[in-house]
Amino acid sequence: MTQGQVNRRDAAGSWSDRQEPTRGGRGRPTWHSRGAQRRRRSVSQALLVCRLAAMPDSLNPTLLVLSLHVAALCLLWRHARAATLVLALSMAVAWHVGLMDLRGVLSAVLVGSTVLAARLWTAHDWPAHGLVRLTAALTCLALALHLLPGFHNPRLLDQVLVREGATPFTLYASLDKALAGWMLLALVGLGWRDRQALRAGLRGTLAPVVLTCTAVIGLAWAMGRVQWEGWEGLWPMPPQAPHASWVFLVVNLFITCVAEEAFFRGWLQSSLQRALTRVQQRHGPAGTHGLWQALPGLCGALLFGLAHAAGGVQQVVLATLAGLGCAWAFHRTGGSLEAAVLVHFALNALHFLAFTYPALA
């Protein structure tokens, strides 16, 4: 055998030599063959999801829909078309099992149409392009806030008391918010698409994760809202819902954190940053002050805190502080939405697993 050839066994059981595409004479696959391998893997993943979808009797319908949504999110990083097909499949399954009706389908089509129009709008003239993106973001926000009809979100946890002395909480599988998060990701784009970007992003996210978790949990402790539950209290398993921990973590990551960070950081903060850049181009170095540069993150964090006003003043303060940490991670990594999602999820996971959740009674 010569260099660049591999010994493969054919279907008949005999051995034959097959010339593989090489790059640089070192026997490595070309970029074209690597792309083909990635496409084959995405197709096989989609087929696996389809096979799972063909077994509704053996799986909880809500779990099946959530699994399809998670698969659609994961595929969105590298294979947008496959992700769109899996998302459509999840909507079809949700409609089939009664988690959404025809009005929900029409709502999803409406939101998807605005996002597609914003994605296809190639001209970057400020008034028209900005209005199209604003319309897409606001329709996604309306979907996430349950303002569009047709969705019947199932209740996963009902008045569960995670720990003694905590207030009970209820958790829903908000399918409309999950769909809004996916649409917003498709609108704003993703950053960690290769290993080099992943390593750089993780290094840049480490400090915001540590400082944000320390600051927010420490302030909540000082306010008397939470307390440390001890090492023996990690991974709570309440008797009425022993599966509460993993259900909370999955829903919080793939629905709550993705949707909220995609809107507040991926769209709002980045839009304000682009507007700030245009102001700097018009007025020269007058807008180079550090506080002026931090204005987009500060505005996004403040609005993020106000979105939690239903929990009271203390909740607004804590959410604003958490929003500042997510905004810092987003800015520090060059606008990587994944960094903000990681900070948000790390804080929520630490709160749930090691401290009183949601708060002391």
pLDDT values of the chain reduced to their tens digit, one per residue, 361 residues: 444 444 434 444 433 333 444 444 444 444 456 666 666 665 555 554 444 444 334 348 899 999 999 999 999 988 999 999 999 999 999 999 999 999 999 999 999 999 999 998 876 666 778 899 999 999 999 999 999 999 999 999 999 999 888 999 999 999 999 999 999 999 998 888 888 999 999 999 999 999 999 999 999 999 999 999 877 777 888 888 888 999 999 999 999 999 999 999 999 999 999 888 887 777 765 555 566 788 999 999 999 999 999 999 999 999 999 999 999 999 999 999 999 999 999 999 999 999 999 999 8
Global pTM reads 0.82
For tokens 């066994």, what's the residue?
9
Question: Residue with structure tokens 């709502």?
Answer: 107
Crossing angle of helices 61-76 and 31-53, in 10° steps, is: 170
Half-sphere exposure of 143 (CA within 13 A, CB side): 33
Peptide bond into 21 cis (omega under 30): no
- List Cβ neighbours of 234 (8 Å cut-off, separation of 6 or more): 353, 354
Name the residue ranges covered by the structural domains of the chain: 100-354
**What is the rounded distance in angstroms from the CA atom of residue 251 to the CA atom of residue 91?**
17
